[in-house]
Amino acid sequence: MAGDEPPPLSDSDPHQHQTLKPPSPLNQKISAQKRGEDAANEAMDKGGGSSESDSEEGGESGGIWAQIKYEALQDAEAEPALASYLYSTVLVHPTLERSLAFHLGNKLSSPLLLPSLLYDLFLGALSASSTLRAAARADLRAVRLRDPACRSFNHCLLNYKGFLACQAHRAAHRLWSQGRHSLALALSSRVSEVFAVDIHPAARIGLAILFDHATSVVIGETAVVGDHVSILHHVTLGGTGLEKGERHPKIGDGVLIGAGATVLGNVSVGAGAKIGAGSVVLTDVPPRTTAVGNPAKVVRGRDGAASRLNDVPGESMDHTSFISDWSDYVI
């Protein structure tokens, strides 16, 4: 594959290998995350053209890419069986963008969709869009912070099919927005086969998203997902029938959707709301409330008022504390 690779688009530090440093503490990561996401949101707000640039971020120092290389080198030293895999997937690449494009290209390729074609597609999208670059970093940080089973950024980059499916979707969505529908659909179809994550390329997905486990996630054409959202496996954001227009859910910022939840129709799940595992949601859910059950109802306190959440469920990942409010939950 190396032979297919175009010359680097940006200055990358040739001494990067030598200058790898141990990770900075997690709280520095968190403030870095806030900065990164603010910048990405800003870029998104500016809209398409003006926020695009033609560089990768190989020159970043002390950022997430240096951390990933450090982690991969540690793993390669500790586990010789993985060394060759880690070198060709991570360590040989000058930038996160090239590593990600290489990894996605390999995973999504088929006998008739060559890895080199897909590599060029993904690298092209990442090189042209600062939004995609920022989103990849914000998603890596979201996974690392919110999933206690995630041991390192490198672990997420290599092994989280939810993360990989989301990055592939972002590239497919860009193609869709450029009117390249058949290519976008071919990509999303491969993602559905390889990762069992089925996101229509027209769906709009925000930044700092965690798709945890991710198997069987289905997100329809007119769905919108805000920022800082966490979505577990088996979740459906589905449509309601034959009509062509807006027919899928709109998920606000900071929402948490539990495993196996099904949200159907052009309904709104308000910012900071939480959908319990296995719920079936067919109407709007107010912001900062918890909806559970089949059909889903808002959890209410003993005074009958909807219980209000004070945290950001998409980040605090608290799946079950509502049980104490769920007055008829006894087993």
- Minimum distance from CB of 50 to a second copy (Å)? 26
Among 43, 296, 309, 312, interactor with a second copy by CB under 8 A? 296
Among 22, 182, 305, 310, interactor with a second copy by CB under 8 A? 182
Q: Is 173 in the site for a second copy (CB under 8 A)?
A: no
| Nearer residue to a second copy within complex by CB, 212 or 227 | 212
Q: Is 154 exposed, middle or buried (0-12, 13-18, 19+ CB in 10 A)?
A: buried
Please tell me the distance from the alpha carbon of residue 77 to that of residue 79, in angstroms, as a whole number: 6
Q: Is 128 in the site for a second copy (CB under 8 A)?
A: no
Q: Footprint of a second copy on residues 84-123 (CB under 8 A)?
A: 84-85, 88-89, 106-107, 110-113, 115, 117, 121
Please tell me the distance from the alpha carbon of residue 292 to that of residue 288, in angstroms, as a whole number: 13
Instruction: Please name the residue that has the structure tokens 């966490």.
Output: 230
Please tell me the distance from the alpha carbon of residue 42 to that of residue 304, in angstroms, as a whole number: 40
Among 14, 18, 50, 149, interactor with a second copy by CB under 8 A? 149
Q: Which residues contact 246 (CB under 8 A, 6 or more apart)?
A: 222, 266
The residue among 124, 263, 99 whose CA lies nearest residue 187 is: 124
Stretch in the footprint of a second copy (CB under 8 A) among 33-41, 59-67, 129-137, 292-300? 292-300
Let me know: does 119 contact 168? Beta carbons within 8 Å: no
- Minimum distance from CB of 104 to a second copy (Å)? 13
Q: Is 298 in the site for a second copy (CB under 8 A)?
A: yes
Among 29, 93, 174, 200, interactor with a second copy by CB under 8 A? 200
Among 17, 21, 34, 151, interactor with a second copy by CB under 8 A? 151
| Nearer residue to a second copy within complex by CB, 7 or 241 | 241
Q: Is 54 in the site for a second copy (CB under 8 A)?
A: no
Among 56, 236, 274, 309, interactor with a second copy by CB under 8 A? 236
Q: Would residue 213 be called left, alpha or beta, if left means φ above 0 and alpha means ψ between -120 and 50 degrees?
A: left
Output the DSSP codes for 91-131: IT-SSHHHHHHHHHHHHH-BTTB-HHHHHHHHHHHHHHBHH
Q: Would residue 214 be called left, alpha or beta, if left means φ above 0 and alpha means ψ between -120 and 50 degrees?
A: left
Residue type, 168: A
Q: Is 238 in the site for a second copy (CB under 8 A)?
A: yes
Q: Footprint of a second copy on residues 247-266 (CB under 8 A)?
A: 247, 258-260, 262, 264-265
Among 3, 25, 49, 241, interactor with a second copy by CB under 8 A? 241
Q: Is 239 in the site for a second copy (CB under 8 A)?
A: yes
Q: Is 25 in the site for a second copy (CB under 8 A)?
A: no
- Minimum distance from CB of 113 to a second copy (Å)? 6
Q: Is the dihedral of CA 69, 168, 146, 217 positive or negative?
A: negative
Q: Would you mind telling me the total number of residues written for the chain in this entry?
A: 331
| Nearer residue to a second copy within complex by CB, 24 or 159 | 159
Q: Is 41 in the site for a second copy (CB under 8 A)?
A: no
